[in-house]
């Protein structure tokens, strides 16, 4: 049985990304297709790496973090180390998001306060103008 390979357009279509996106990740050293002349030939490992990159992006991981996960990909060991590292990254990302949520809630309170002050100042100004007339 021949080993499954993918063209750049196969991967782009399957994973709903542009070929330019795939070439970018290749330039970053995250994908390593073989070449047949000008044609890029991607392996199943490249396909998995691209899926990891896209999943990592959706989770808010950096390219460096995605690259670390790709380098740890080792199906022969059940990816134990990769999965443990990923759990750590998920926990860290969750903590960042929780802090951002608290920051947003604080900013909303500050906006509410500023808005109320503006409305009070406008109301005071309007009532003073009416009283002067």
Work out the percent of the chain whose per-residue pLDDT is above 90.
Answer: 73
CATH number at residue 65: 1.10.1660.10
Structure tokens that stand for 7 in this block? 């063209």
Query: Does 40 reside within a domain?
Result: yes
Q: How many domains does the chain have?
A: 1
Tell me the average pLDDT across 86-103.
Answer: 95
Query: Does 20 reside within a domain?
Result: yes
Query: Does 6 reside within a domain?
Result: yes
- Judge contact between 99 and 90, C-beta under 8 A: no
Query: Does 58 reside within a domain?
Result: yes
pTM of model > 0.85: no
Residue ranges making up the domain that contains 8? 1-71
Q: Identify the pLDDT of residue 1.
A: 45
pLDDT tens for 9-47 read 999 999 999 999 999 999 999 999 999 888 999 999 899
pLDDT tens for 104-131 read 999 999 999 999 999 999 998 888 877 7
- Judge contact between 39 and 10, C-beta under 8 A: no
Q: Identify the pLDDT of residue 56.
A: 92
Q: Identify the pLDDT of residue 127.
A: 84
Task: Kindly tell me if the per-residue pLDDT of 92 is higher than 90.
Answer: yes
Query: Does 119 reside within a domain?
Result: no
Query: Does 21 reside within a domain?
Result: yes
Report, in angstroms and rounded to the nearest whole number, the Rg of the chain calculated over CA atoms. Answer: 26
Give the C-alpha separation, 108 to 18, whole Å.
Answer: 37
Task: Kindly tell me if the per-residue pLDDT of 80 is higher than 50.
Answer: yes
Query: Does 49 reside within a domain?
Result: yes
Query: Does 112 reside within a domain?
Result: no
């Amino acid at each position: 049985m021949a080993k499954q390979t993918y063209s750049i357009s196969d991967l782009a279509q399957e994973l709903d990304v542009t070929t330019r996106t795939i070439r970018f990740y290749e330039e970053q050293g995250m994908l390593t297709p073989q070449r047949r002349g000008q044609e890029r030939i991607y392996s199943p490992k490249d396909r998995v790496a691209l899926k990891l990159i896209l999943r990592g992006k959706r989770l808010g991981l950096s390219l460096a973090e995605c690259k670390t996960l790709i380098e740890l990909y080792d199906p022969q060991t059940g990816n134990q180390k990769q999965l443990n590292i990923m759990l750590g990254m998920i926990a860290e990302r969750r903590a960042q998001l929780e802090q951002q949520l608290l920051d947003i809630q604080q900013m909303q309170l500050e906006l509410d306060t500023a808005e109320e002050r503006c409305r009070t100042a406008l109301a005071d100004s309007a009532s003073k103008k009416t009283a002067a007339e």
